Amino acid sequence: MLNRMVERQSDDLDLDAVFHALAHPIRRATLEELADGPKSVSELAEPHEVSLAAVSKHLRVLEDAGLLDVEQDGRVRRCHLDSAPLSDAFGWLTRYRVFWEDRFDALADHLENEDR
Amino acid sequence: MLNRMVERQSDDLDLDAVFHALAHPIRRATLEELADGPKSVSELAEPHEVSLAAVSKHLRVLEDAGLLDVEQDGRVRRCHLDSAPLSDAFGWLTRYRVFWEDRFDALADHLENEDR
DNA sequence: CGTGCATTAAACCTATCGGTTAAATAAATT
DNA sequence: AATTTATTTAACCGATAGGTTTAATGCACG
């Protein structure tokens, strides 16, 4: 309990950034797209109906949250998923698992029996 | 895949709200406090150094995200956790578990061997 | 070497966020 | 009935979000 209070400063900043990053549909979609493998900025922007500059900003938010890394490849920036911060978010949620164990189990079963 | 595209309208709104709600330390702390059982607005506000009105607004955000329910008890509003939306957030993260299975397992072990 | 392509930066706009203080509401107490 | 207590609403404020359009940057290629 006290541990968590002490750790809070730095961890909380991360969690703020990660959850904030996850709070926008374009950014979540981007992470989903990156799950298939690395993609360029243009490739990531293509399915969305906003400007390239807007997507570029979203990517910055994801990058600042540590959710994606960018690798310069000639004139193209190739983005790939970094899932460590997702683990942090997952970890936070998991700590509360004890308070909603029944729902958690139901969900786990549900996800288990799904088509991917 | 197409399923997710179709479900997206409503689910995404929920996820936007839930992740947004989780992106603020006071709101996450509030959920932690509620894990011990229902609490009044004043009780929830006490540990934080912002005004009661500010906490009241945070509670509204949590309520709008469906993360807490409020039960009127005389002149006091008693808040209690509703963890279904946390399951949604958990579910979203879990779908990506396959892409970071190693980290996920490491985290699971870590959480497993922890002091609560 | 100049032109095109991928991406970011800058400037700008409107809306939302997160906080404040002060007033309003509503129930409990005396 | 008057007053205290619990909470929300209102009005306000500066900062951030999320989008636009128009440069600017930087690499590639004929």
Q: How many CB pairs under 8 A join A and B?
A: 109
Measure A40 CA to C19 C1' (Å): 39
Prediction pTM value? 0.83
Condensed to tens digits (0 to 9), the pLDDT of residues B55-65 reads 999 999 999 99
CATH no. of A2-112? 1.10.10.10
Measured between CA atoms, the residue of chain B closest to residue A20 is B23
Pick the residue with more confidence: B80 or A116? Answer: B80
Which residue do the tokens 């002490």 mark? A6
What tokens were used for B101? 């299975």
What mean pLDDT is predicted for residues A24-28? Answer: 97
Cβ–Cβ < 8 Å for A42, A33: no
pLDDT at residue A101, rounded to an integer? 58
pLDDT at residue B90, rounded to an integer? 80
Which residue do the tokens 């730095």 mark? A10
Which chain C positions have some atom within 7 A of a protein CB? 4-10, 17-23, 26-28
Domain extent listing, chain A? 2-112
Condensed to tens digits (0 to 9), the pLDDT of residues B4-27 reads 444 455 676 689 999 999 999 999
What tokens were used for A110? 């549900």
Q: Which of B16, B24, B84 sits opposite A24 (nearest CB)?
A: B16
Of the pLDDT bands very low, low, confident and very high (cuts 50, 70, 90), residue A52 is: very high
**B89 contacts on A by Cβ (under 8 Å):** 22, 89, 93
What tokens were used for A25? 């549909």
**A115 φ, ψ to 5°?**
-80, 30
Structural Rg of chain B based on CA atoms? 17
**Binding-site residues on chain B for chain A (CB distance < 8 A):** 1, 8, 12, 15-16, 19-20, 22-25, 28, 31-32, 35, 81, 83-84, 86-87, 89-97, 99-100, 103-104, 106-108, 110-111, 115-116
Cβ–Cβ < 8 Å for A39, A48: no
Cβ–Cβ < 8 Å for B66, B82: yes
Residues 6+ apart with CB under 8 A from A81: A31, A34, A35, A67, A68, B99, B100
Minimal Cα–Cα distance from B39 to chain A, Å? Answer: 15
Condensed to tens digits (0 to 9), the pLDDT of residues A55-64 reads 999 999 999 9
